[in-house]
């Protein structure tokens, strides 16, 4: 059974609780991308160079990324030749199949969060200001609390006006523990917070950090210090360093990922505001460009709309109108 047929068979709404979220969250991308793909199939009934040229433009417009698109089209053309595909209607299924393979082929990247079995799991959050970092931390606190875990938020963004207070509000909203102090060394604040978290046997600790990228050297030194403090306190921590990217920034988000990858060990990406853009192809571009897995996606403004990333549900949300 081909991937396309498997999607049609497997994805019944009662079987997958996140499907509605992916369906609604990717609506803008799906409406623009799939409708244009369908129109392309009407304009060109037969596979041709002109069809591939317009497909290339369509994929780049969806923010899949130029290099990713070129690699994808090369593979697609080889498959068309090998399988002797001449009808563009039949090619649609192959396109879905190959886009899925972009994400799952190559390095084995896990979209699951690494949980520490022996004490607190420390998740460190990085990203430029304005991408939704504090909100993401709050939504994850909500998620883990609903799963019955004890949660603590630590405000490591100590110098930005209002940052500590914002995080404290999320702690109160989600009934989580909180630790923060303003205008002092972030590493010291994080150390004190971890002391309290350990004493209280907290399951999940979510640590905010500053969002400055203008001076990479300063930020690198700060993150290095934070990592050392966390590592001394809890071996092998932080267990995840998650980079928050606003999906609406498109290719600029890729540049942010490349920059942060240079200065610290990013283990996963949280893609916020995916529902607010017609360029949902950025998920595939990130994997291809920086080789870091997407761990969570923001598919709406509600507190429950931050979902664990699932490539099959993402592909379904993107192409369900063709199935």
Token pair of 308, please?
A: 């664990």
Residue 322 covered by a domain: no
Residue 129 covered by a domain: yes
Percent of the chain past pLDDT 90, that is, above it, reads: 57
Backbone angles phi, psi at 206, to 5 degrees: -110, 115
Question: What is the bridge-based pairing of β-strands 151-155 and 268-272?
Answer: unpaired
What integer is the mean pLDDT of 225-254?
93
**Domain of residue 250, residue span:** 121-310
Higher pLDDT, 93 or 49: 49
Residues 207 and 62 in one domain: no
User: For residue 52, what is the enclosing H or E element?
Assistant: helix 49-61
Per-residue pLDDT reduced to its tens digit, 260-317: 999 999 999 999 999 998 888 888 888 888 889 999 999 998 999 999 998 888 888 8
Q: How far, in Å, CA of 223 to CA of 187, rounded?
A: 9
Radius of gyration of the chain (CA): 21
Residue 4 covered by a domain: no
- Edge-to-edge strand order for the sheet containing 306-308? 177-180, 151-155, 204-208, 121-126, 240-246, 268-272, 294-298, 306-308
Domains of the chain: total: 2
The residue written with tokens 């930005």 in the block is: 160
Neighbours of 83 (CB within 10 A): 11
Q: What is the pTM of this model?
A: 0.91
Residue 281, Ramachandran bin (φ over 0: left; ψ between -120 and 50: alpha; else beta):
alpha
- What integer pLDDT is reported at residue 215 of this predicted model? 78
* CATH code (residue 177): 3.40.50.300
Residue 319's pLDDT band (cuts 50, 70, 90): confident
Token pair of 212, please?
A: 């400055």
What are the distances in angstroms from CA 163 to CA 45, 183, 209, 250? Answer: 55, 11, 10, 25
> Helix, strand or coil for residue 11?
coil
Strand partners, 207: 124, 154
Per-residue pLDDT reduced to its tens digit, 177-198: 999 999 999 999 999 999 999 9
Q: How far, in Å, CA of 187 to CA of 280, rounded?
A: 36
The secondary structure of residue 120, as a DSSP letter, is P
Residues 175 and 46 in one domain: no
- What integer pLDDT is reported at residue 14 of this predicted model? 41
């Amino acid at each position: 059974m081909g991937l396309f047929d498997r999607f049609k068979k497997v994805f019944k709404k009662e079987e997958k609780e996140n499907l509605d979220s992916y369906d609604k969250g990717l609506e803008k991308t799906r409406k623009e991308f799939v409708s244009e793909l369908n129109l392309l199939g009407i304009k060109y009934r037969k596979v041709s160079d002109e069809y591939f040229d317009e497909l290339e433009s369509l994929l780049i417009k969806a923010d899949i990324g130029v290099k990713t698109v070129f690699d994808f089209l090369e593979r697609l053309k080889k498959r068309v030749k090998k399988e002797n595909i001449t009808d563009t209607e039949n090619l649609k299924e192959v396109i879905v199949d190959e886009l899925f393979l972009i994400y799952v082929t190559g390095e084995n990247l896990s979209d699951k969060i690494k949980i520490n079995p022996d004490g607190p799991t420390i998740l460190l959050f990085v990203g430029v200001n304005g991408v939704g970092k504090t909100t993401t931390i709050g939504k994850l606190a909500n998620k883990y609390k609903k799963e019955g875990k004890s949660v603590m938020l630590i405000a490591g963004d100590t110098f930005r006006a209002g940052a500590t207070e914002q995080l404290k509000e999320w702690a109160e909203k989600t009934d989580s523990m909180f630790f923060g102090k303003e205008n002092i060394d972030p590493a010291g604040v994080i150390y004190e917070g971890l002391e309290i978290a350990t004493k209280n046997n907290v399951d999940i600790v979510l640590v905010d950090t500053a969002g400055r990228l203008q001076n990479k050297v300063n930020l690198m030194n700060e993150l290095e210090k934070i990592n050392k403090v966390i590592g001394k306190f809890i071996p092998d921590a932080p267990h995840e360093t998650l980079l928050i990217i606003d999906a609406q920034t498109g290719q600029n988000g890729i540049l942010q990922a490349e920059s942060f990858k240079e200065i610290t060990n990013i283990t996963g990406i949280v893609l916020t505001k995916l529902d607010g853009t017609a360029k949902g192809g950025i998920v595939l571009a990130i994997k291809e460009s920086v080789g870091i897995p997407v761990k969570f996606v923001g598919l709406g403004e509600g507190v429950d709309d931050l979902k664990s990333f699932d490539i099959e549900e993402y592909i379904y949300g993107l192409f369900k109108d063709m199935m």
